[in-house]
Amino acid sequence: MPTSDAPEERLRKFKYRGKDASARRQQRIAVSLELRKAKKDEQALKRRNITDVSLDPSDQQTKGVSLTMQEIISGVNASDPELCFQATQAARKMLSREKNPPLKLIVDAGLIPRLVELLKSSFHPRLQFEAAWALTNIASGASELTRAVVDGGAIQPLVELLSSPHMTVCEQAVWALGNIAGDGPEFRDNVIASDAIPHLLTLVSSNIPVPFLRNIAWTLSNLCRNKNPYPSDHAVKQMLPVLFYLLGHPDREVLSDTCWALSYLTDGCDVRIGQVVDTGVLPRLVELMCSSELNILTPSLRTVGNIVTGTDHQTQLALDAGILGVLPQLLTHPRSSIQKEAAWALSNVAAGPRQHIQQLIACGALPPLVAVLKNGEFKVQKEAVWTVANFTTGGSVDQLIQLVQAGVLEPLINLLTIPDNKMVIIILDILFFILQAAEKISQKENMCLLIEGLGGLDRIEALQLHENHQVALTALNIIERHFSEEEETVTALPARDQDHKFLKDLTNTYHCYTTPKPGPRP
């Protein structure tokens, strides 16, 4: 049926169909892209400091000072440290406005080289602080403004400030570097190449103030972010032990950014996933998937979802850590975005070997999966369809019978009317595989009657006239292969309340049927 007539693109969507293990795992990664695109802005790339704190209480005296732009330019370039400080602080305050800060105006005024120079004023920590703050806020803007900060030579002096004896100066440098790294892989790698990571990791200790640690965790997450290219292997190995440590911190913002960092590191090849898994983070991630805090649940679930796109061994480690004790519950989460991610993760478990599918059945995932197929938002239903598709292409006959028993046919048949051709084709292929499994145990007639009783035959017949050629062809193949006139019998069509009897008969017949030793998957 679908094999000979389906285009290559569609076959690639079935993670077991005619594919080796490497290709299946690559597909796991590809299928996640839609989720990633939809959610890529969940964690802030850059942050502007609009608080009004000061390194020195005596700075409160300057609050009333108001300078014109020309006076700021003159003052910042002055040799008098106090005049320079007042002008730099005035510039920083302009850049810290909550609405419409004049970021570009400051850049166009040519102040960045001077602000970078002021970062090196070790005898004037207040001046260093104000200059770092101003550069932080400029770097929080559009990419061309971040580039102006980088081209002005700010990265290396900021890295050196990570060793400042003044904590507030040090923290502001962390924030600035986080904004620069968050712009993209080019500047992230510039920050890494300037040896920022060892300095950042040195700052992490049990007695560091929580707000400071939050900035460090967020900056580390930006150093893990982006994958074209990924951060260097050396950089990742440097950061992982500290990320593992931070995963045990009680602060929810620290936990959130740490989980996001791990989600970025696992969003890729098996080697990257293995580096994270080998740190032993899985049990803690499963705990965090039970969090009531959405900003912790989302990235921890994302990380686990990424891990189960890896090798079968990596997926098994996730299963051993207890993910199947949590994922079925998340299918009933009040947020549809969480339901979708949970269904996506389950689809990757279902893409594994039959023992993984059996664990999925044993954990009770089928009833909530059927429930979202029936009543979930369409974006969740699509991920649930993928789960069923992977289940049917990799599962045994016995496992497919259990899938049918769970009630999967009715919602799948109802979804045949959706205006999504790709999903309709996948559902038709699922129905074909189920019919094929029933045929192997001489129960195809009962399965055909069950599908017909649910209105499936009428819908499949109607799809033969679909405007999409592949939809029409797939429907035609099912009709010719399983519902042709030559195979019709005089058996009466069961009433809807008799459907369960057919399922029971199907199951009983199977368990009395001696099957040969399993061979290669179809």
pLDDT tens-digit map of 340-398: 999 999 999 999 999 999 999 999 999 999 999 999 999 999 999 999 999 999 999 99
b/e code 110-119 from CB counts within 10 Å (16+ = b): ebbebbbebb
Residue tagged 């405007």 (tokens): 467
b/e code 393-426 from CB counts within 10 Å (16+ = b): bbbebbbbbbbbebbbbbbbbbbbeeeeeebbbb
Q: Does the pLDDT at position 205 exceed 80?
A: yes
Whole-structure pTM value: 0.85
Q: Which of 274, 334, 327, 319 is nearest to 300 (CA)?
A: 327
Q: For 396-483+500-511, CATH number?
A: 1.25.10.10
For residue 285, the SS3 value is: helix
Instruction: Check residue 64 and give its pLDDT.
Output: 46
Residue tagged 């090196």 (tokens): 120
Q: Does the pLDDT at position 402 exceed 60?
A: yes
Instruction: Check residue 499 and give its pLDDT.
Output: 42
**What torsion, rounded to 10 degrees, do the Cα atoms 504, 506, 511, 514 define?**
170
Instruction: Check residue 223 and give its pLDDT.
Output: 98
Q: Does the pLDDT at position 177 exceed 50?
A: yes
Model pLDDT for residues 102-148, shown as the tens digit of each residue: 999 999 999 999 999 999 999 999 999 999 999 999 999 999 999 99
Amino acid letter, 476 = L
Which band of pLDDT confidence, cut at 50, 70 and 90, is reported for residue 66?
confident
- The token duo for 326 is 């949590």
Model pLDDT for residues 408-462, shown as the tens digit of each residue: 999 999 999 999 999 999 999 999 999 999 999 999 999 999 999 999 999 999 9
Helices 210-224, 196-203: axis angle to 10 degrees equals 150
CATH 1.25.10.10 matches 25-45+69-203: yes
- The token duo for 475 is 């429907």
For residue 310, the SS3 value is: coil
Instruction: Check residue 4 and give its pLDDT.
Output: 38
Instruction: Check residue 50 and give its pLDDT.
Output: 80
Which band of pLDDT confidence, cut at 50, 70 and 90, is reported for residue 296?
very high
As a whole number, mean pLDDT of residues 220-225 equals 98
**Percentage of residues in the chain with pLDDT exceeding 90?**
79
DSSP class of 58: G
Q: In angstroms, what CA-CA distances link 69 with 117, 118, 519?
A: 20, 19, 78
Q: Are 183 and 46 in contact (CB under 8 A)?
A: yes
Q: Do 25-45+69-203 and 396-483+500-511 come out as alike in CATH topology?
A: yes
User: For the chain, what are the domain ranges?
Assistant: 25-45+69-203, 396-483+500-511
